[in-house]
Amino acid sequence: MTWLDVPHDSAFGVANLPYGVFRREGQTARVGVRVGDHVLDLAGALGDDVFDRPSLNAFLAQGGRRWREVRSRVQELLTDPAHRDRVEPVLYPLAGVELLLPFEVADYVDFYASEQHATNLGRMFRPGGEPLTPNWKHLPIGYHGRAGTVVVSGTPVARPSGQRKAPDDPAPTVGPSRRLDIEAEVGFVVGVESRLGQRVPVTDFAEHVFGVCLVNDWSARDLQAWEYVPLGPFLGKSFATSVSPWVVPLDALRHARVAPPPRDPEPLPYLHDAEDWGLDLRLEVRLNGHVVSRPPFASMYWTAAQMLAHLTVNGASLRTGDLYASGTVSGPERDQFGSLIELAWGGQTPIELPGGETRVFLEDGDEVTITGTAPGPDGTRIGFGEVTGRILPTP
């Protein structure tokens, strides 16, 4: 229990303590920890200049022992009233600070780890065929995205232009995307680098990965459909990827760990689960304030530990700030799908919004917000905050 005025059932109590980067007016950006509706200035509270920086990266690079030290010191500062006088002056109301991109993204990889999502897309795009490609159950499929266009929640997203060509069009045209979509995903932030040529086994997941954030992988389906054979998505994705401002440490997710779903066939040995790294994160997707989906992350076929083992099995090195995302989180029920193309089934069942409005894809001015929580101790919840963005017309 903290001496701060935070309700016991807050999703941002001392069992959570996610990290971000904030700026007060006229001040430089610094690392902070969220508690309740406040942010604790870590440089101010701990007197360590690793936090007096505009990104988490220097702290992330310090590794697990240090992450745990800082977490337990912050918990002590916030629970022992003896520290109150010293800590209160460096606690700022969230309403008065600006939240920035929490880390400098090194490489960004996006996976495709939801069986339901991959099956849904396979059914829509290859009707009559096998919905999953032959490799899907043998490896977590992934590809590199554009690190330089990862933006923090709240950044407006301009509708991208590009080439699109429907199957019946005689030739491609260029113009604003007409099939602008979202993908509700969960992101994993690498702290500790690895050496080139050396794989990271599934057992070492928590030594390298610091924490978890929410991701909206905005997707222009028409651009993507025309460009992606044979080398994969490019401009259909690279215009923007939004992340939540808070990175929840793995240490706050102990109560969220669950067994992953059964796999058939048995994965190759380098992908064997060593521990349960399924995570019972519950996402919620709102379109213009209206809940349109509740994707369950626990249903993901591949865990984040398996994704990391796969990403490095060829000897590719990790850097501090690497971000990898899960791919769209879609559960088995229709109201659990993590993208509009699935929710509206490519236009066959438009999404109904209050006031008689419907959507198949995003319109200019639409706002999408993804939130998430996970189980915490004693029936509480661990909050992830939100990742939100509004669509602007093509400039």
Q: Binding-site residues, please?
A: 110, 112, 126, 183, 185, 217, 224, 228, 237, 241, 328
Site for a second copy in 187-216 (CB under 8 A): 196-199
Residue 65 CB, shortest distance to a second copy, in Å, is: 24
Q: Say if CB 193 and CB 61 are below 8 A apart.
A: yes
100 binds a second copy (CB under 8 A): no
Closest by CA to 216, choosing from 282, 153, 304, 298, is 153
Among 3, 92, 270, 345, binds a second copy (CB under 8 A): 270
**Annotated active-site residue in 117, 138, 144, 208:** 117
Among 144, 276, 347, 352, binds a second copy (CB under 8 A): 144
Interacting span for a second copy (CB under 8 A) from 19-27, 61-69, 265-273, 281-289: 265-273
Site for a second copy in 104-133 (CB under 8 A): 106-107, 109, 112, 133
- Residue 159 and residue 235: Cα distance in Å, rounded? 12
Interacting span for a second copy (CB under 8 A) from 233-241, 292-300, 333-341, 343-351: 233-241
323 binds a second copy (CB under 8 A): no
Among 220, 247, 252, 382, binds a second copy (CB under 8 A): 220
Which C-beta is closer to a second copy: that of 107 or that of 280?
Answer: 107
Q: Which two tokens stand for residue 152?
A: 């923090």
268 binds a second copy (CB under 8 A): yes
348 binds a second copy (CB under 8 A): no
Catalytic residue list contains 117 = yes
Among 239, 246, 337, 384, binds a second copy (CB under 8 A): 239
Residue 128 CB, shortest distance to a second copy, in Å, is: 16
297 binds a second copy (CB under 8 A): no
Among 30, 179, 208, 310, binds a second copy (CB under 8 A): 310
Residue 157 CB, shortest distance to a second copy, in Å, is: 9
Q: Say if CB 184 and CB 339 are below 8 A apart.
A: yes
Return the residue matching tokens 């600070």: 97
- Residue 233 and residue 205: Cα distance in Å, rounded? 27
Among 84, 149, 201, 284, binds a second copy (CB under 8 A): 149
Interacting span for a second copy (CB under 8 A) from 141-149, 291-299, 346-354, 366-374: 141-149
- What does each C-alpha distance from 99 to 21, 78, 275 come to in angstroms? 6, 21, 34
Residue 356 CB, shortest distance to a second copy, in Å, is: 32
230 binds a second copy (CB under 8 A): yes
228 binds a second copy (CB under 8 A): yes
238 binds a second copy (CB under 8 A): yes
Which C-beta is closer to a second copy: that of 313 or that of 353?
Answer: 313
Q: Which two tokens stand for residue 312?
A: 């490095």
Interacting span for a second copy (CB under 8 A) from 9-17, 73-81, 222-230, 246-254: 222-230
Residue 169 CB, shortest distance to a second copy, in Å, is: 11
> For the chain, what is the HEC assignment?
CCCCCCCCCCCCCCCCCCEEEEEECCCCCEEEEEECCEEEEHHHHHCCHHHCCCCCHHHHCCCHHHHHHHHHHHHHHHHCHHHHHHHHHHEEEHHHEEEECCCCCCCEEEECCCHHHHHHHHHHHCCCCCCCCCCCCCCCCEEEECHHHEEECCCCEECCEEEECCCCCCCCEEEECCCEECCEEEEEEECCCCCCCCCCCHHHHHHHEEEEEEEECCEEHHHHHHHCCCCCCCCCCCCCEEECCCEEEHHHHHHHEECCCCCCCCCCHHHCCCCCCEECCEEEEEECCEEEECCEHHHCCCCHHHHHHHHHCCCCCCCCCCEEECCCCCCCCHHHCCCHHHHCHHHCCCEECHHHCEECCCCCCCEEEEEEEEECHHHCEEEEEEEEEEEECCC
Size of the site for a second copy (CB under 8 A): 65
Interacting residues toward a second copy by CB under 8 A:
106-107, 109, 112, 133, 135, 138-139, 141-149, 151, 158, 160-163, 165, 171-174, 196-199, 220, 223, 226-236, 238-240, 265, 268-270, 310-311, 313-319, 322, 392, 394-395
Active site residues: 117
